[in-house]
Amino acid sequence: MPEPNPDQWLEIANKFYLKTNFPNCVGAVDGKHIRCIKPINSGTMFFYYKKYFSIVLMAVVDAEYSFISIDVGSYGKESDSTIFKNCPFGKKLYAGLLNLPAPVVLPNTDNFPQPFVVIGDEAFGLHKNLLRPYPGRGLTQKRKIFNYRLSRARRYVECAFGILANKWHVLHTALLVEPDFADDITKACCILHNYVRRRDGYNFEDTLSNYLEDIENENNSGARQQGIDVREYFAEYFMGAGAVPFQYRYIYSLFCIYT
Interval 166-214: pLDDT, tens: 999 888 888 888 888 889 999 999 999 999 988 887 664 455 455 555 5
* Cβ neighbours of residue 126 closer than 8 Å, sequence gap 6 or more: 132, 220, 223, 224, 227, 228, 231
**For all residues of the chain together, what is the average pLDDT?**
85
| Contact status, residue 34 vs residue 76, Cβ threshold 8 Å | no
Instruction: State residue 133's pLDDT score.
Output: 97
Q: Helix 179-200 vs helix 141-167: angle between axes, to the nearest 10 degrees?
A: 100
pTM: 0.86
Q: For residue 219, what pLDDT is reported?
A: 45
Question: Mean pLDDT across the stretch 29-47?
Answer: 69
The enclosing H or E element of 37 equals none
Tell me the average pLDDT across 149-169. Answer: 94
Q: Could you give the 3-state DSSP secondary structure of residue 88?
A: helix
3-state secondary structure (DSSP) of residue 29: strand
Q: Give the burial string for 214-235 (b: 16+ CB within 10 Å, else e).
A: ebbeeebeeeeeebeebbeebb
Question: What pLDDT sits at residue 145?
Answer: 96
The answer to whether 100 touches 109, Cβ cutoff 8 Å, is no
Written as one string, the DSSP assignment of 41-56 is: T-TTTTEETTTEEEEE
pLDDT for position 81: 80
How big, in percent rounded to 5, are the helix, strand and coil portions of the chain? 45, 15, 40
47-94 pLDDT, tens digit per residue, is 444 455 788 899 999 999 999 999 997 665 577 788 899 999 999 999
Q: What percentage of the chain exceeds 70 in pLDDT?
A: 81
Comparing CA positions, the residue from 5, 34, 3, 29 lying closest to residue 16 is 29
Residue 71 backbone phi and psi in degrees, to 5: -135, 125
Is residue 122 scored above 60 in pLDDT?
A: yes
Residue 5 pLDDT? 96
